Amino acid sequence: MEDKQALNVLRHSTSHILAAAVTELFPETKVAIGPSIEDGFYYDFDRPTPFSVEDLSKIENKMREIIKADYPFKHLEISKEKAIDEFKKKNEKFKAEIAEGIDGDTVNIYQCGNFSDLCKGPHIKSTGEVKYFKLLSVAGAYWRGDSSREQLQRIYGTAFFTKEDLDKYLQKIEEAKKRDHRKLGKDLDLFSIHDEVGAGLILWHPKGALIRNIIENYWKKLHLENGYDFLQTPHIASEELYSISGHLQTFNENMYAPMEVEGKPYRVKPMNCPGHLMIYKTKLHSYKELPIKYAELGTVYRFEKSGVLHGLLRVRGFTQDDGHVIVAPDMLEQEILNVFNMAVSLLQTFGFYEYEIYLATKPPNKYVGEDSDWQRAEESLKKTLEKTGYKYQVDEGGGAFYGPKIDIKIKDSIGRAWQCSTIQFDFNLPARFDISYVDSAGKKVRPYMIHRALFGSMERFLGVLIEHYVGALPLWISPVQIVIANINEEQIDYCKSLLKTFNDNGIRTSLDGRNEKIGHKIRENAMQKIPYIAVVGNKEKESGSVAVRARGNKDLGTMKIEEFISLVKSKNIPGINEI
């Protein structure tokens, strides 16, 4: 029951039961595919009428009838020709299309009750083995992910071996809904997305832009301390650059169409690395300069299909905290360790202490570089991970075609894993751009290159951060750290002097001087998740103090101004406001 593969079999079998229920209730529906996924399963259907919430309830009840009937899952092997013919007779065009693409003369069919499905299996013995399941939602999906093909309806669900596991998962979903960064982003006035601007393109409001600026300042401080040089590259470049890098040949479907500039094709940039290597090539480098460390908060643009866009987590324009480290071969292991330690330091600063770490190795077929170089790079990554003391998993064949990599997934406060930091080795670009350095013998030698991103992207990381903290960001990141709230007009001048004092001390402060009851002000500002509310009445005005309420409705009592400033400053990161 604890085996992940067994859970996948259970969920995939439940997706068949879902399809059986749908086709029985809605005979006009055509079926497409229904795999198991990370936390459950889905099945895609072609039906002219959208599924409603009431339909999901009906489908669940029908699934329970099928489960109670305890139909066995029967495996049949039939000729491909016969399968295609039968699917076409039933007007199941999607299944016929899948069958036509299968190699060989035979195909596998699994039958439960009156429902037969093209499937390679395996499955549970009978429908009665499914005990604990739940249908979750309906979404749109293009057939085979192609926006030019049919728009299907995807029903998501999940299944577990125990009621306890199902209940835990459903509770986790409810908790995730409370944390949805799209809703919190709107409630806290951080960002917005508009059809008039374009799907997947973020508009940062003043508070959201300030949060970004604070985080970027910390990022710059960390990189200066670790010996990086900052670069800035254009948002567009000649198509020739991406031909040299190979992106035009291997990444074209994710790039935007060319624009013509004086008869020459240009592209908005999908990657920062080609520009960094062009900067490296502007002069001859000696081995004494290595490692050379470049970093850029570079905004890139990639075409993502509309069906996968999701708030800040999946966008079309995003800022990578990109870095490239050019090293001599004997420096590789140490520099990978330096980058890893830097990534962990950054993640812990933001409150992430649990990780899933993967070493992704050489793909089985398509890759560049010599096998001996791959072996050396993989060994360096492996030794680095062993030195860190962190547990890691090997993702066999999961490396990029240009080199092996280390991926770090962070665990948020409700246990969800998010891909953020990545450390990637690259055999490809140094060769394509023909970069070199002069070694101690005076010979030109090809260096190694490490790609790395610590946040991954600013947009995605901020989305994760908002959900991790349910919008109640740590004080040092909060756009407003203190709000001063007066009880009546008699304290307004004192409040204005406090506003200046706090801001002069580098504390981001606002004044709520509205003519409203103090209880109303406290409630509204608490909903904005501001770390401290400084309440001022005549008593505080006369004593030169403030009555402090901390986030979470904690009453800290009356504090002298100097004492309060000291408390807030102790939670800030020194220096980030000066960069």
Q: Between the CA of residue 121 and those of 11, 35, 118, 505, what are the distances in Å? A: 12, 10, 9, 65
Strand partners, 511: 484
CA–CA distances in Å: residue 211 to residues 215, 292, 478, 481:
6, 30, 7, 11
* Residue 321 CB burial class (10 angstroms; 0-12, 13-18, ≥19): buried
CA-based nearest residue to 406, from 418, 393, 415, 389? 393
Q: Are 256 and 303 in contact (CB under 8 A)?
A: yes
Residue 272 DSSP code: S
Cβ(298)–Cβ(322) below 8 Å: yes
Beta strand segments in 303-391, E: 317-327, 355-360
**Do 422 and 452 meet the contact criterion of CB atoms below 8 Å apart?**
yes
- Separation CA 448–CA 373 (nearest Å): 10
Helix (H) or strand (E) holding 561: helix 561-569
Residue 332: phi, psi to the nearest 5? -55, -50
Strand partners, 171: none
Query: What are the residue ranges of helices labelled H in 156-299?
Result: 163-178, 181-187, 206-225, 239-245, 247-250, 273-280
The DSSP element (H or E) to which 559 belongs, if any, is strand 554-560
Q: How far apart are CA 339 and CA 348, in angstroms?
A: 14
Distance CA 75, CA 77 (A): 7
**Residues acting as catalytic residues:** 273, 302, 320, 322, 324, 405, 451
Question: What is the 3-state composition of the chain as percent helix, strand, coil, each rounded to the nearest 5?
Answer: 40, 25, 35
Furthest CA-CA distance within the chain:
92
Please report, to the nearest 10 degrees, the dihedral formed by the alpha carbons of residues 295, 343, 427, 357 taken in order: -160
Between CA 444 and CA 41 the distance in angstroms is 54
Runs of H (alpha helix) within 445-560: 458-468, 492-504, 518-527, 538-543
Phi, psi angle pair for 63, to nearest 5°:
-60, -40
Q: Which strand (E) or helix (H) includes residue 87?
A: helix 80-89
